[in-house]
A and B are shown apart, each in its own frame.
Chain A
Amino acid sequence: MSMLTRRAAMIGATAFGVLPVARLAQAQPRPDLLRFGLSVWPPNLQPWQSVGQAAGMIKMLIGRRLVGFDEKGELRGELARDFGRDASDGAWVFRLDPRAVFHNGEKVTSEDVKWTIEQVAGERSTAYYRAQMQRIDRIETPDAHTVRLHMKEPTATVPLWFANYNMPIVWRGTRNMNEAMGCGPYRLAAQERGSWIELQAVPNYWVPGQPRTKTIRMTLVADESLRLAALQSGDVDFIEFVPWTGMAAVEADPRFKLESTMGPFMDILFNGTRPPFDNPLVRRAVAHAVKREDIVRVAFSGRGKVLEGMPIVEGTPWWDAELSRGHNYDPERSKALLAQAGHANGINTTLLTTGAFAMHKDSAEVAQQYLAAVGIRAELRVVDWSTRVSQGIRGQYDLAVHGVSADFNDPDGLTVVLDTSLSAAHGRSFGLSAPRTTELLNKGRQEFDHARRVEIYKDMQRAALEEVPVVGLAWREQGYAFDRRVSGFRILPGALSLSSGVNLEFTSVG
């Protein structure tokens, strides 16, 4: 239907001789310039505050972390030439690349790293990794390029922390954090608040041959349909957050390429401080009630994957086929669990979600229908994002639908979602008691032996399937789309997909 109409319109256009105008409508690509369609505006570029993935992407391009990821999502040194744990005293050792310089020409030294960690861990810090950095007992800087970290308790995931986009190393002379001095391949050349940001390659960048593109111009196109339209009409060369409805069209179009992976996921959160969801049986009833295929189809146009267990990526060592179906769709079982919990007549409750993201709202709408089918009649509360956050943190809800990504692909990255003993947050269930899950997460973090870690995290999944700190709904495909002439960009796997923007430094146009 659509194609037919479109063809008719094209024929009409040709007949009236207006097609030349069409060429005027398209801006032409330039080899030294990458035009990027941004999905959200980075609220600010303060280095360590967590203000979203858009800011994260830019922070990764402006600054450098100690550690980064390679294409497979494996850790590799970024500022650190090598890193590892000193078996003798258990300290984590990072050795810096001596070539590294800040944009102002200053050498990157261990003192800068120390200063950065101290700032993040500081009493007045608003940094994302504040709590983690406070777990560092002592920082040693034996020479200008070596940093030794002594942890308060053994921690296996320390390098992952330093790979987070909220942990760039900043020059210790920086005073205004809105203009933090970084050591990345780009610097902020110009911007118009809320519209566009232009990044310029740094002339003295210390890795030879990088970055590939001189200028990256990021323009905000918040509306997803419009963002796709901007790519299709040639206004931009590259877009992030390709709308799921448009992925098939992009794949089918020879002019474009789609890079996508299953990354973030949707889940249901609970208020565990009051009935009925303080009862794990009821939470399990919720887990078995929802037919995930429908969410995948409605919210993600099929560009997603059913998630019927804990959000562990398939193919990783921690994944287990049986555990991954632990919360399979089984309405009878759901009803039985409800009856067992004393709610044979069903439950009247509320379901909180935000209208700011269609995927949240759509997932909630589907979930609502299936919950109703087993007797959990939830009234939908669609609020704006700020209200959603506020009510989530304060536990002003019963059920909530949320979308999130783990911090990293190691199962410890799920702590932020699964460990309900952490502070109240809109991305975790509120006041819910899941002691075994928490304990196993802690245990896994302190274990250094791979095989044992695998076992611990499988146990953790078993515990979580019973304690239900969260109900997984669906993985969603995270997609970047770009003009064929753009090369060198690779998406990072799984939870890291939201950090893929860092690979723009390897990307060239034409």
Chain B
Amino acid sequence: MLYVAKRIAISLVLVWVVATVVFLALHMVPGDPAEVLLSTGGTSPDPYAVAELRERLGLDRPIMVQYGEFIARLARGDLGTSLVDDYPVAEEILLRLPRTLELILAGTLIAVSIALPAATYAAVHAGGAFDRAASAVAAILQALPVFVLGTLLILVLAQWLRWMPAGGYVPFAQDPGRHLLLLLLPAVAVAKGLAATVFRMARAAVLEQLSRDHVRTARAKGLTPRRVVRRHVVRNAMIPVTTVLGLQMGTLLGGTVLVEFVFNWPGLSTPLLRAVETRDYPMVVGIVLTVSGLFLLINLAMDLLYAVLDPRIARS
């Protein structure tokens, strides 16, 4: 309990540091929200209008005053509103985050359901034809950048074959079938890197477990090979795999930018990119905080999960 409290305290400090860094960095970046907003589309803004808008948005005050207000607001749990259209940042995040999470989860599901059995089979038959082939595929997948894969998928499946929509999003409630169809390609793109990682990790873990004494014991008991692998190899090998997988998913939180960009998936990355582009400070900070906060949370959760999965770790 103390450990968890300490970890959470450290995480909060980290989040504060991140918030400060992002806030200050954004204000140092050239570009001004008022100017940019009134220049959208290439028209030349009226300087008086810009000045007026700056004042209205509170951007004319000293930066430390703005920072102080920002931190005070943050401490109350208020992420503020967009400079562009007064939209509450928290609402935007609540709307978008589930989609990014959905993408990550779907990707993980695909990755795990392919990579885990493949890795287990490959490791049990290490050195065999399947092992070599699967390892090669994993290596190539890992080397194939996600935007390359995404671009190629769209070119072939959407534009040439027209089997798949080129990208986009439909809420599940509106049209479940189409929702899943639209989810498929981006999820595959997310799964790509993950599958390669999971495969390599799981294969190594299974190989390692296979050489363990307790596996020999299990065989000496006369268990069927299937049962030995499932209960004494895979079960044990999954402990490190699960936690690393969790961490990978945490990293993906900020790593789906390219996928969301390529497939027009309206997750958290799109508003983030746009907010950076338009210098929408509250929006950028809000999203970054959410992502890093979640990331830290997942890290903590994975550490705890590890303790749950592995009875040897003391549950103090």
Q: Which residues of A contact B (CB under 8 A)?
A: 5-6, 9-10, 13, 18, 21-22, 24-27, 40-41, 43-45, 49-56, 124-128, 130-131, 178, 192-195, 219-223, 225-226, 229-230, 232-233, 235, 264, 356, 383-387, 389-391, 393, 396, 402-405, 416, 422-428, 498
Contact = CB atoms under 8 A, between A and B. Distances in A.
12 contacts: A22-B162, A49-B49, A50-B43, A127-B46, A192-B266, A193-B92, A222-B270, A226-B262, A356-B277, A389-B31, A424-B47, A425-B47
Interface stretch (B63-71, B82-90, B120-128): B82-90
Interface string B273-314: 010111100000000000000000000000000000000000
A121 to B, nearest CB: 11
A393 B49 CA distance: 14
B6 to A, nearest CB: 38
B215 interface: no
Contact of A9 (B29, B39, B156): B156
A427 B166 contact: no
Contacts of B263: 226
Contact of A416 (B44, B262, B270): B44
Given A53-B41, A193-B85, A229-B158, A25 B31 contact: no
Given A390-B35, A404-B42, A416-B43, A226 B274 contact: no
Question: At the interface, is chain B mostly helix, strand, loop or mixed?
Answer: helix
Given A223-B261, A425-B45, A126 B162 contact: no
A43 B37 contact: yes
B166 A233 contact: yes
Contacts of B159: 229, 232-233
Interface string B138-171: 0000000000000000101011111111111100
A391 B42 CA distance: 14
B277 A384 contact: yes
Contacts of A126: 38, 49-50, 52-53, 56
B48 interface: yes
B238 interface: no
A272 to B, nearest CB: 16
A350 to B, nearest CB: 15
A50 B40 contact: yes
A383 B29 CA distance: 12
Nearest to B95: A192
Contacts of B160: 5-6, 9-10
A54 B42 CA distance: 12
A44 B162 contact: no
B52 A44 contact: no
A249 to B, nearest CB: 10
A385 B40 CA distance: 9
Nearest to B35: A389
A308 to B, nearest CB: 21
Given A9-B161, A53-B41, A385-B36, A194 B270 contact: yes
Contacts, number: 197
B30 interface: yes
Interface of B: 29-32, 35-50, 52-53, 56, 84-87, 92, 95-96, 154, 156, 158-169, 177-178, 181, 261-264, 266, 270-271, 274, 276-279
Contact of A235 (B46, B165, B279): B165
A56 B41 contact: yes
The residue among B32, B40, B48, B159 with the most chain A CB atoms within 10 A of its own CB is B40
Contacts of A52: 40-41, 43
B40 A43 contact: yes
A133 to B, nearest CB: 11
Contacts of B156: 9
Nearest to A407: B43
Nearest to A405: B42
Contacts of A193: 85, 87, 92, 95, 271
B41 A389 contact: no
A125 B49 contact: yes
A39 to B, nearest CB: 10
Nearest to B178: A27
A21 B178 CA distance: 12
A226 B233 CA distance: 45
A51 B165 contact: no
B169 A229 contact: no
**Which 3 A-B residue pairs are closest in the complex by CB-CB distance?**
A386-B31, A425-B44, A52-B41
A55 B41 CA distance: 10
